[in-house]
Amino acid sequence: MSQETTPRQRAFSGIQPSGLPHIGNYLGAIRNYVALQDSYDAIYCIVDYHALTSTHDPELIRRNTFEMAVGLLALGLDPERCTLFVQSDRPEHTELAWLLSTVTPVSWVERTPSFKEKKRSQPDDVNHALLTYPVLQTADIVIYKATAVPVGKDQAAHLELAREITRAFNARYGDVFPEPAAVFTDSPIILGTDGTNKMSKSLGNTIEVFGEPDEIRRQVMSMVTDTRRILRTDPGRPEICNVCQMHRFFGDDFETIWEGERTARTGCVDTKKLLAERIIDSFAAARERRDELTAQPERVRQVLGDGAARLAPIARGTLAEVRARMGLD
Ligand code: AQP
């Protein structure tokens, strides 16, 4: 008897090769990349074109791209269960971005929070690609007609814009693209060690996933806790303490830890020390896998090359469909 199977939905997400992953990337997005591998046709992309908006050092781009691939594989992406590739290996993305830009009003990209933020953070390098970044991001997703996009909450505005651009294209040229939707983890925004801003490389408030144990200890010990807890004997407020919040993701006894804080049985230093050791332990196996993969660059390059090759027919097929709809056939 033949068994009817419904095709799996497609998931797509991109990550910038702008340095090593931090706990915010992991808890906010990479954890979901790994989880979605079995229930979705999952495609993950190291977005080097995007990284060029802020990094102009060719050697750094090369090294970071390789290191991000190694990091993602070490953290659980399995080339047998997902497709991992490098954005610039599929140049169809940029052609589609151009075509989509013709239905995207300038005012839509000018208002994106990330553009405003980048104008502030790199005032001497407000390049044109920073403005059009969300259009390329839309192309990355819709070229594979992905419907699910695992990302952190900081990407919500970009996703909303991707939906608007998709609707604008479909309204003018007919239904080509499904509307993509964000898929968040239960920790869609992880705060940095400063306890107020989102954890972010450019803010220097990160805890590294692959940091050396002493580096992780230093980063965790620098975390801002409950600022109203001055004396060791003051009761803590775990609900607003970033260290306590992070304990929710490293171990299954966070309620006991919170109770210790509330009753001042434990102090902030104890709670931080425990968190640091748990973070170190929980990524120990991934760190080992990373060392193994780093020693096999050809194997990593093969995974990325295979991924890009596997996607060629889909990317070319969508582009041909779009070109025909727009009168370019
Ligand atoms: N703090 C965070 N909490 C939850 N999710 C986060 N993500 C990033 N920071 C947090 C998610 O990680 C994925 C990859 O993001 P990216 O490629 O945009 O990485 P990023 O923006 O380079 O990370 P940074 O540290 O924030 O870099 P800068 O400082 O250069 O902007 C995305 O899904 C993102 O939502």
* Per-residue model confidence (pLDDT) at position 1: 44
Report the C-alpha gap between 93 and 91 in whole angstroms.
5
Q: What percent of the chain has pLDDT over 70?
A: 98
Whether the per-residue pLDDT at 147 is higher than 60: the answer is yes
Q: Which atom of ligand 1 is nearest to the CA of 198?
A: 1
Residue 299 has pLDDT above 90, yes or no: yes
d(CA 244, CA 257): 8
In the chain, domain spans: 10-190+297-325, 211-282
Q: Is 19 in the pocket of ligand 1 (CB under 6 A)?
A: no
Cα 235 off chain centre by:
36
The stretch 103-110 carries a mean pLDDT of 97
The backbone torsions φ and ψ at residue 42, rounded to the nearest 5 degrees and listed phi first, read -100, 130
Catalytic, out of 116, 119, 153, 198: 198
Ligand 1 atom nearest the C-alpha of 47 is 17
- Tell me the pLDDT tens digit for each residue of 162-183: 999 999 999 999 999 999 999 9
Residue 207 Cβ inside 6 Å of ligand 1? The answer reads: no
Question: Is there a shared CATH topology between the 10-190+297-325 domain and the 211-282 domain?
Answer: no
Fold designation for 211-282: Tyrosyl-Transfer RNA Synthetase (1.10.240)
Q: Is the distance from CB of 162 to CB of 138 less than 8 angstroms?
A: yes
- pLDDT level of residue 323 (50, 70, 90 thresholds): very high
How far is it, in rounded angstroms, from Cα 290 to Cα 210? 9
Angstrom distance (rounded) from CA 146 to CA 274: 40
Strand segments (E) across the chain: 10-15, 41-46, 82-86, 148-150, 181-183
Grouping H, G, I as helix, E, B as strand and the rest as coil, residue 86 is strand
- Tell me which architecture the domain covering 10-190+297-325 has in CATH: 3-Layer(aba) Sandwich (3.40)
Rounded Cα–Cα distance for residues 162 and 136 (Å): 9
Residue in the block written with tokens 């709670």: 271
Residue that wins the pLDDT comparison between 230 and 23: 23
Mutate to test the pocket of ligand 1, among 15, 25, 206 (most ligand atoms within 8 A of CB): 25
Determine whether the shortest distance from the Cβ of 198 to ligand 1 is under 6 A: yes
pLDDT-based confidence at 2, cuts 50/70/90?
very low
pLDDT digit string, tens, across residues 50-67: 999 999 999 999 999 999
pLDDT of residue 153: 95
Among 295, 223, 235, 230, CA closest to 260: 235
Over residues 216-268, the pLDDT tens digits come to 999 999 999 888 777 777 777 889 899 999 999 999 999 999 999 888 888 88
Q: Token match 């839509």: residue?
A: 108
Does ligand 1 have an atom closer than 6 angstroms to the CB of 202?
A: yes
Q: Given ligand 1 and candidates 154, 158, 184, 208, which is best to mutate, with the most ligand atoms within 8 Å of its CB?
A: 154
Average pLDDT, the chain: 95
Task: Tell me the sheet residues that pair with 150.
Answer: 183
- Measured from the CB, is residue 159 less than 6 Å from ligand 1? no
Q: Say if residues 10 and 56 touch (Cβ distance below 8 Å).
A: no
pLDDT of amino acid 235? 78
Q: How confident is the model at residue 112 (pLDDT cuts 50, 70, 90)?
A: very high
Strand boundaries in 113-239, DSSP class E: 148-150, 181-183
Question: Ligand 1 centroid to 256 CA: how many Å?
Answer: 30
- For residue 6, the model assigns a pLDDT of 77
Would the pLDDT of 47 be above 60?
yes
Q: What is the C-alpha to C-alpha distance for residues 280 and 192, in angstroms, rounded to an integer?
A: 17
Residue 231 is predicted with a pLDDT of 75
Q: Quick one: which atom of ligand 1 is closest to the CA of 153?
A: 35
Question: Ligand 1, residues 72, 137, 200, 201: which to mutate, most atoms within 8 A of Cβ?
Answer: 200
Report pLDDT for 240.
87
201 is catalytic: yes
CA of 24 to the centre of ligand 1 (A): 7
Confidence (pTM): 0.94
CA of 118 to the centre of ligand 1 (A): 14
How would you label 3-23 residue by residue, b for 16+ Cβ within 10 Å and e otherwise?
A: eeeeeeebbbbbbbbbbbbbb
For residue 215, pLDDT beyond 70 = yes
CB-based contacts of 122, cutoff 8 Å, min separation 6:
54, 130
Query: Catalytic: 273?
Result: no
pLDDT of residue 4: 58
> Which 3 state secondary structure label does DSSP give 148?
strand
Q: How far does residue 80's CA lie from ligand 1's centre (Å)?
A: 26
